[in-house]
Amino acid sequence: MIRVISFKKAVAAGVAGAAAMELYSIGGSLVGLPTVDLVQQLSSLDFPRSPLLAIAAAIAAHLSIGVCWAVFYAFFFWGRLRLRPPIQGLLFAVVPATLAILVVYPELALMRRSADLVTLDLRSYLAPISASVVASLLVSHALFGLTMGTIYRKPVGYAADRKPAPPVSRRPAGSKYKRQGGSSAFIFATGIECSYPTIEHGHWRRDEMDSTRHYEFWQHDFELARQIGITHVRYGPPLHLIFSGPGRYDWDYSDPQMEELHDHGPEPIVDLCHFGVPSWLGNFQNPEIAGALAEYAGAFAERYPWIRFYTPVNEMYVSARMSALDGLWNEQLRNEGAYARAAWNLANASVGMSDAILKQRDDAIFVNSESGEFYQPCCPDEHVVKIAAEANERRFLPLDLIYAHPLSEPMRDLLTCQGISGEDIDRLAHRAVPKRSILGVDYYEWNERLIDRKGKALALGEMFGWYVIADQYWQRYRRPMMHTETNKMDAHGAPRWLWRQWYNVQLLAKAGVPLVGFTWYSLTDQIDWSIAMSEPLGIVYPVGLFDLNRETRTVGLAYKHLIELYRDQAEFRQCDALKELMA
């Protein structure tokens, strides 16, 4: 399990832990306790004629050792036990304490001997170790572990009320590539993972572009995408950092990237809301997010009038489910009513955002990406079958609302029970859906779930596959489609998964469904998606075309090869379904 760490926090934790050890040793000796002062013992070994220099060197060595242990802890121990951080640090301290008792202290005793030659056996080697020495070293290392564990926590993300520094400035050295605006060729896409929900009841922001260092390497990231033949990039400027209040925008968080994409590509498909909202808007239970996000979308489209492809709200169903039904993000609620309110608010936001964008650019194309999911009952038990049926209806609710599809009776009842009027529901049901709308269907191994006898949804793996699941969405909405997300956690198996998804796309296209694009998501590895970003542990999720060192993964080479094989074929060089949308 690979980790990213916060080196600054590790250094601070190591220094503080080492300082706590020394303070205990000094304080204990002042009150008459038989403590072991490692700094004092180290200072007696070197610079005998310069005591101040000896003490300084000993303190530096002591603090440096503390930092080394803290970095080791951050990489290899932190977050592996489901315990509070101070207790994790305390348990880890057993390792350095054991080494200090059995190795360091006896070695220091040997170094203070005046003899040139010493004959050792185990008994003489361990002779300096007494009960008081062991007790002192155990207590001091316990303090080290508790202090380090208290300080080193949350290596990724930041307090929701804090803003990180804006992305680095754009370098003047340009790319040899030029943006191919207006192309009707088949879309070969990737995305920059840009999720930004809050956890801990709104107090801690998970910002994937910060955790993966995209704000630092954004220009290089775009160049990597261009080098493997990517035509379009799904990209979500950080809404929570840009939109600082009604009528207030900090465009420093998006201007450099948009300029680069405008000049050199890939063509952006802009995600305007990706799993979170600014802290001043609260969460998805707030009905005012619809109007606020419509304002933001209009301002964004006005500032960047050249952008044509938009995803107003990414995965509305997942946003609502994870926040209001599964209780992991944002409002962290767990009930059907909260889910219905979140889905309603997000759908209204998507509609309002689309309308605001169309006022700025009437030929805008909307890629409404949603997680393609399916729930299978494990048996004919009526209770299990009912739960699966409800889940299958629930997955369609946000798309039904934005695509003016008639709601099922249970979903309509669910909305009206939350105080949403029939008139408001009918208003969406009779709206004119933008004609340039693409239905994006995302697919991962966990998208197909089995409802067991206890009513729990269990990940089923790829049973039916994208072809079958996507066809359900096609039959319901009859919109041009795109495979908008997929990846596989197993980096070695990822190329096989890539080709399986691609063959699913080809099969659905041969069945007569208008398909305009395919996406491997994302460009780089992600952080903590193996636990749905529910905790800030820093676990690397190795699903990218490139790793976090920006080195190409095997799936990146496979995707490059796939693009080279197909992009010049007649049906991909000009995609008729996309050409019709862009007319």
Q: 10 Å Cβ neighbour count for 165?
A: 10
Q: How far is residue 132's CA from residue 33's CA, in Å, rounded to a whole number?
A: 9
Q: How many CB atoms lie within 10 A of CB 582?
A: 16
Tens digit of each residue's pLDDT (9 = 90 or more) over 234-260: 999 999 999 999 999 999 999 999 999
Phi first, then psi, for residue 470 (nearest 5°) are: -65, -35
Which residue bears the tokens 């063509």?
267
Identify the domain boundary among 151, 166, 185: 151
pLDDT at 46: 64
Classify residue 2: in a domain, yes or no. no
In this prediction, residue 50 has a pLDDT band, given cuts at 50, 70 and 90, of: confident
DSSP one-letter string for 91-144: HHTHHHHHHIIIIIHHHHHHHT---S-----HHHHTTT--HHHHHHHHHHHHHH
**What pLDDT, on the 0 to 100 scale, is given for residue 61?**
92
pLDDT for the residue numbered 412: 97
pLDDT value at residue 45: 67
Q: Are residues 343 and 487 in the same domain?
A: yes
Per-residue 3-state assignment (H helix, E strand, C coil) for 249-296: ECHHHCHHHHHHHHHHCCEEEEECCCCCCCHHHCCCCCCCHHHHHHHH
Same domain, yes or no: 28 and 176: no
Distance CA 374, CA 477 (A): 16
Statement: residue 105 has pLDDT above 80:
yes
Q: Which residue has the tokens 């994790």?
A: 88
- Same domain? For 39 and 174 the reply is no
Residue 164 belongs to a domain: yes
Compute the distance between CA of residue 78 and CA of residue 85 in angstroms, rounded to an integer: 8
What digits encode the pLDDT tens for the residues 157-188?
A: 999 999 999 999 999 877 999 998 899 999 99
Helix (H, G, I), strand (E, B), or coil: what is residue 367?
Answer: strand
Residue partners of 111: CB distance under 8 A and separation at least 6? 45
514 within a domain of the structure (yes/no)? yes
Q: How many CB atoms lie within 10 A of CB 52?
A: 9
pLDDT band at 124 (very low <50, low <70, confident <90, very high): confident
The two structure tokens encoding residue 148: 């380090």
Whether 144 and 165 share a structural domain: no
Token output for 308: 């044509």
Residues 101 and 184 in one domain: no
List all residues 6 or more positions away from 39 whose beta carbon is below 8 Å from its beta carbon: 22, 25, 55, 58, 59, 62
Q: What percent of the chain has pLDDT over 90?
A: 89
Residue whose C-alpha is closest to residue 304's, from 259, 340, 348: 259
Strand pairing of 448-451 and 374-377?
parallel
Q: Specify if 1 maps to a domain.
A: no
Classify the phi-psi angles of 316: left when phi > 0, otherwise alpha if psi is within -120 to 50, otherwise beta.
alpha
Q: What is the mean pLDDT of residues 278-287?
A: 98
Q: Looking at the domain assignment, is residue 135 inside a domain?
A: yes
- 250: Cβ contacts below 8 Å, ≥ 6 apart: 163, 166, 241, 242, 244
Q: For residue 125, tell me if it sits in a domain.
A: yes
User: Per-residue pLDDT tens for 329-351?
Assistant: 999 999 999 999 999 999 999 99
Question: How far does CA 386 lie from the centroid of its chain?
Answer: 33
* 60 in the same domain as 102: yes
Same domain for 237 and 133: no
| DSSP symbol at 489 | S
Check pLDDT > 80 for residue 3.
yes
Does 210 reside within a domain? yes
139 with 185, same domain: the answer is no
Tally of domains within the chain: 2
Among 103, 118, 151, residue at a domain's last position: 151
In this structure, the answer to whether residues 350 and 252 fall within a common structural domain is: yes
Could you tell me if 368 and 354 are in contact, meaning their C-beta atoms sit under 8 angstroms apart? no
Strand partners, 552: 546
In whole angstroms, what is the distance from residue 144 CA to residue 95 CA? 12
User: How far is it, in rounded angstroms, from Cα 397 to Cα 454?
Assistant: 24
Confidence at residue 496, expressed as pLDDT on a 0 to 100 scale: 98
The yes-or-no verdict on residue 115 having pLDDT over 70 is no
Among the listed residues 227, 212, 301, 304, the one whose alpha carbon sits nearest the alpha carbon of residue 264: 227
- What secondary structure letter does DSSP report for 530? G
Q: Which range of residues forms the domain containing residue 26?
A: 7-151
Q: How far apart are CA 297 and CA 366, in angstroms?
A: 12
Closest by CA to 579, choosing from 511, 510, 516, 509, is 516
Over residues 178-199, mean pLDDT: 96
Same domain, yes or no: 264 and 387 = yes
Indicate which CATH number applies to the domain containing 550: 3.20.20.80
Same domain? For 550 and 454 the reply is yes
| Residue 436 confidence (pLDDT) | 98
Per-residue pLDDT band for 125 (boundaries 50, 70, 90) equals: confident
Among residues 126, 151, 176, which one ends one of the domains? 151
Sign of CA dihedral 242, 244, 246, 251: negative
Q: What is the pLDDT of residues 506-523, one digit of tens each?
A: 999 999 999 999 999 999
> Are 170 and 129 in a shared domain?
no
Q: In this model, does residue 309 exceed pLDDT 80?
A: yes
Predicted pLDDT at 335: 96
Confidence grade of residue 53 (pLDDT, cut at 50, 70, 90): confident
Q: What is the average per-residue pLDDT within 518-539?
A: 97
Mean pLDDT of the chain: 95
First-last CA distance in the chain: 48
* pLDDT score, position 51: 79
Residue 167 inside a domain? The answer is yes
